[in-house]
Amino acid sequence: MNFLRKVLLVSLLSLPLAACSQPATNAPAQTPSKTEAAVPTVRLNGALPDFTGLVEKEGPAVVNISTTQKIRERGAPFPQFRDLPEEDPFYEFFKRFMPQQPHGGRGAPREYETHSLGSGFIISPDGYILTNAHVVDNADEVVVKITDKREFKAKVIGADRRTDVALLKIDAKSLPVANLGDPNKMKVGEWVVAIGSPYGFENSVTAGIVSAKGRALPGDNFVSFIQTDVAVNPGNSGGPLFNLRGEVVGVNSQIYSRTGGYMGLSFAIPIDVAMDIVSQLKGNGKVSRGRMGIQIQEVTPELAASFGLKDAKGALVAAIEKGSPAEKAGMQPGDVILKFEGKVVPSSSDLPRMVGATKPGSKTKLEVWRNGSSKDLSITLAEWDEPKVAAVASAPKAEKANRLGLTLAEINAEDKRKLNLENGLLVENVSGAAEKAGLRRGDIVLSLGGEKIVSLAQFAKLLDQFKNGKTIALLIRRGEQILFVPVDWGKDGK
């Protein structure tokens, strides 16, 4: 879809709701008198919010962005069916009965253009404009239209796909500038306003409230989104999200939708995150992020219990890259990172943002949980790069199912070399407690209770050390992912 980066088609997990009752006290309950009015939770001040002043003052800083991408491909004799392969029976049918282009075959090379629309806002009087990276992605020409109807060809200074932030520059002076606010001061339930160009309708205004803060979305590890119920549609991408003080607190970026249109869930990039990216793009033309070289996962209550942690918090280290800063710092699989540079890591989704916001080469302090106690580590961060995808193992001869319900098999040396594996057993079949825990056929079991697995005999010996009802943490590899899976075989384990 040209208007939005990729509409989310996954359901978001609901956050647990806290109780709304007042804390218990020893004082007797008091009944308000008839003359004493109850204090309202929501103060209306006689009227609903009036957004007219905000729009009049801040609207001129919002721009419409249109892009053009030139695509050159070998034309088909019937362009409307150009995606059909020649072996498709319908290809021959349309070749006979549809008008032909000259030169025969699949047709002569041809060039056509695609167009998309988006929004943005001016952040400096000399023409710097903030928008989404997906708005200008692969564009050959970017045109910015401001509210006085003037149009300018824009230069893309830089774009960061990981945060979906892009910086543009137009040749203009004395432009109206959007005021920037502090998203950390926002409260859930407060009014916010979006201005943009949904479906090309320029300077459209929609309003709503902040639904949630710090929302983590699949595939977006470097942004803690602001969730709102402001109506945002294709074309709003890159536009500003204002608070009632007329300050930009976010950049509208994504929606949750089953239809492609607005369904009550919109997500904005906090403006402080966006401006940090802007400063790097403006200075270097690219973004640098810190990297530790680890794979992490969420700490569930079951995993926390298996590691002796009181609370399910922090980021669980599932795998460590060879030669990475984490390996050099002495980090181990099974460590739970509790603090990064003195700041608490509430969950695994928070750690990538904290590390990514730290300059590569920085020496950082970590507090990790290992073998029932906390430990301090010092790590020098490298520069972040794209993760590599692992291959899938072949299936060797399997043994019978063990007490967990796992049918395991040893992996030969050639397969280990192809998969870059030092150790592990292949899961041939799953049943019982292992199946309930979510293990799958094709998983590779790397460790049991913190011990690396090198053979079937060793696995069986380690398994015998665990008593019934004990939750066991298995470290597994699944495709490109390495993660811990807690297996609770219950009191009826044999």
Catalytically active residues are 134, 164, 237
Q: Give the H or E element holding residue 74.
A: strand 62-74
Whether the Cβ atoms of residue 248 and residue 213 lie closer than 8 Å to each other: no
Reading the block at residue 153, the tokens are 């060809």
C-alpha to C-alpha distance for 291 and 123, rounded to whole angstroms: 30
> Token pair 């106690």 is at which residue?
373
Residue 460 Cα distances to 184, 334, 478, 486, angstroms: 52, 21, 22, 17
User: Are β-strands 247-255 and 179-180 bridged in parallel, bridged antiparallel, or unpaired?
Assistant: parallel
Q: In sequence order, which residues have a C-beta less than 8 Å from that of residue 363 and are 6 or more positions away?
A: 378, 379, 380, 381
Kindly report the length of the chain. 494
Side by side, which strands form the sheet with 151-153?
151-153, 141-145, 62-74, 109-122, 128-131, 165-169, 155-160
> Token pair 């390996």 is at which residue?
327
Q: How does DSSP assign 196-244, residue by residue?
A: E-GGG-TTEEEEEEEEEEEEEETTEEEEEEEEE-S---TT-TT-EEEET
